[in-house]
Structure 1
Amino acid sequence: MADDLSDFFALPPFKADEALVTLRRNVRDIKLLTEKVNGAVTTFHLRQLPVVEMNLTPGVSASGQPAMVLKQAKRPSQRPEWQTHTLASSAEVRKWLDQLKLSVKRWDDED
């Protein structure tokens, strides 16, 4: 009986490719960022300095689940120090997007 209920309450599977399209749209909505596409890599810039890099091909998380791998700069610069983020659920995507919005606001306030 418990197994039947666990299937009923299971979250839908994470679709990295669909989530990536939605995430790109949400990042584009951040007014201070501009998007540049170069093949399979999309880069977002703040005042012509790269801050986010997205690979358009979905990856795989450490647990073998579909995921998206993103790079975020610690701070805007011509040669940024990248932090890699592997997002394997919708909750992780929302959390990362919220953190990006806070970072962009902080970077904008610093200048």
Structure 2
Amino acid sequence: MSDSSEDFFALPAFAPEQALQQLRRWLREQRALSERGASFTLAGSEVLRLGVQGAVLEVQLAKRPAQSPEWELQRCTQAADVRRVKDEITRRLRRWSEDD
């Protein structure tokens, strides 16, 4: 028997460009954020930046909305990382709306 049976259960390769498109679409549905090029704003303050570097989707997320925010960089190399980033964005949006 060949080793091809191991490949049968392998996850598909991570496509950062496709993940970026899906994440942007999801962010637009969040209604609280406004898209400005490669970034998203909340009430006029930039809170999220997206980009692709090689095989990695890079997400810079502000710790809190501000004119000059402190950024946290998160690198996504698989679909599970993108789901974690979405969860973190949801938590922060909820927290930021409660702080107002």
Aligned match of 2:22: 22
Q: What is the aligned length?
A: 100
Q: 1:2 to 1:105 in 2, by over 3 A?
A: farther
Runs of 4+ in structure 1 deviating by more than 6 angstroms, as ranges, are none
Please tell me the residue identity of whatever aligns with 2:79. S
Which of 37, 42, 46 is the matching residue for 1:46?
42
TM-score, normalising length: structure 1: 0.84
Instruction: Give the superposition deviation at 1:54.
Output: 1.1
TM-score, normalising length: structure 2: 0.93
Aligned-residue identity in percent: 35
Instruction: Give the superposition deviation at 1:5.
Output: 2.5
Root mean square deviation, CA, Å: 1.3
CA deviations over 1:16-53 (Å, ceiling 9, x no partner): 0011011001011111111101xxxx111111111101
Instruction: Give the superposition deviation at 1:80.
Output: 0.3
